[in-house]
Structure 1
Amino acid sequence: MIQRRLEDLEKERGSLNFQLPSRQPALSGLLGHLGAVLRRGAQRAGGDDSQAQLRVEAKTVEPTTQDNLRVSVTRRDWLLQEKQQLQKEIEALQARMSVLEAKEQQLRQEIDEQEQLLLWQGCDLSPLLGGLTPRELQEVHDTLRDTLASASRVPLRAEPPEAIRSLQEGIKSLNLSLKEITAKVCMSERLCSTLRKKLNDIEIQMPALLEAKMLAIAGNHFCTAKELTEEIRSLTSEREGLEGLLHKLSVLSSRNVKKLGNVEEDYNRLRRELDHGRTAYETSVKESATKYMEVLEDKLCR
């Protein structure tokens, strides 16, 4: 009965989906090579020659491992440098983009002004002015001069004041921060979910391995019990590492969530200030336009 149970547990253990560190591709190849070297050494006849050959073959593995590690470290350093360089280029492009946007806005304003000038320059007033007497021309000239002088005293602004533009820039910056922090929070949540799933898988596997170990000990299958002990130890170590990483990610996620809340509060506050400023600005423009129209009507009615 115990023998059948051990066989069932062996099959169940073979069907488990988890992978120990020794099953990873990078380490599996190295361990396989070491195993092949040891098997060849064991198959040879005993003696100093076979032992010396085994030591030579085992030593050939160490430089290869060191070379692979050195290549990995070099590759990582190069990738970090590339990332830093790319970040600098992105910042430079963003600064350049801001300058170009400001220049585009200035050019658009100048184009609008030139189009207005072309619109008036296309009007031929010669027939109208030709039918006026010198006295009437003088009156038109005086009226136009007084109208322009009155208009200069009416504060009509062609663009929003500096306070509104400053609020718009602040909102734009906070909007970018919101997107970045939100992306970080989502990424942290996904990583935490993945780690919790792995921890749950380990918690499910541990009781089965412990039961198999106890049965192996009861059946005097000490080799199997030793293997199960190693697997349990590896899983325990992996679980502790995952728990530590999960704790760090949870703390980081909490900080990002708190930071996101603060940025959202600042964003909403600036939005309210901007809405209030726009309302006041629009009211001021309407009042100035109304006053300007009253000045024109007064001049025309004289």
Structure 2
Amino acid sequence: MMRVLLFVGTNIAVLVLLNIVLFIVQSVFHVRLGNYSGLLLMAAVMGMGGSFISLAMSKWIAKRTTGAQVITQPRNESERWLLDTVKSEAQKAGIGMPEVAVYDAPDMNAFATGMSRNNALVAVSTGLLQSMDRNQVQAVLGHEITHVANGDMVTMGLIQGVLNTFVIFLARIIGTVVDNALSGNRNSESSSGGFFYFIIVMVLQVALGFLASMVVMWFSRWREFRADAGGARLGGRDNMISALQRLAGNQGETALPKAIQAFGISGEGGISRLFMSHPPIEERIAALRAAA
């Protein structure tokens, strides 16, 4: 489970930082956005900018939060096989060779992230390498390579950027209305508002962002089915099904940091379906069998 929450969490942090900077600039220099088109432009710059800054940072953050060690020179036969398998599948998928890394964790998981198809990172846990046979691992790697080949992270960036734009825009529109109503329209001439306006906007952005995350999670679930199909093509349908069945016993036991849990292959459970980054494994297996 490791691509979405890393991205979304970083995205939220960047947005908060950008908002604080903007409020400071507005207060110090008395900058005002006097019309909706100006506000929408500012929201688009902040929203899309925050999203793609998150995307650009995704590999670095993934390495830092998991402690993933990139394999530059294979130290043993297992690492050599891992590199060769990723290289072979990347060539079949028509993408550049991604960085390959291993991180120390007991759970069975793997993830891929990166700015583009030719600048990606594929990482697997030690738990996955120890608990699955090579046919299963090959299918899991095919699943992750397919995420990269499909450009899922870039598409996620675009979706998140558009949603960010409307979250920022609507939060400020609603915030202005609420602030004016509570202050008796004393702030109606100022679109920058004061400290209370800042608090209202921050609360609204969190609330609206929570709703927007449902759209992001829907896309995340949909792309898992596509990645499973790609894993079946690259690693064998039976191997992909076998790997998912093996992962079924791993549900609820992920050791990934919360910020990047949605980026892994194993998915998540115990959450309302609207906020699940991965479909239930039973549905994924059923989709593979139906496609066959």
Q: TM-score, normalised by structure 2?
A: 0.28
Higher helix share: 1
- Greater strand share, structure number: 2
Q: For the pair shown, which has the larger CA radius of gyration, 1 or 2? A: 1
| TM-score of the pair, normalised by structure 1 | 0.28
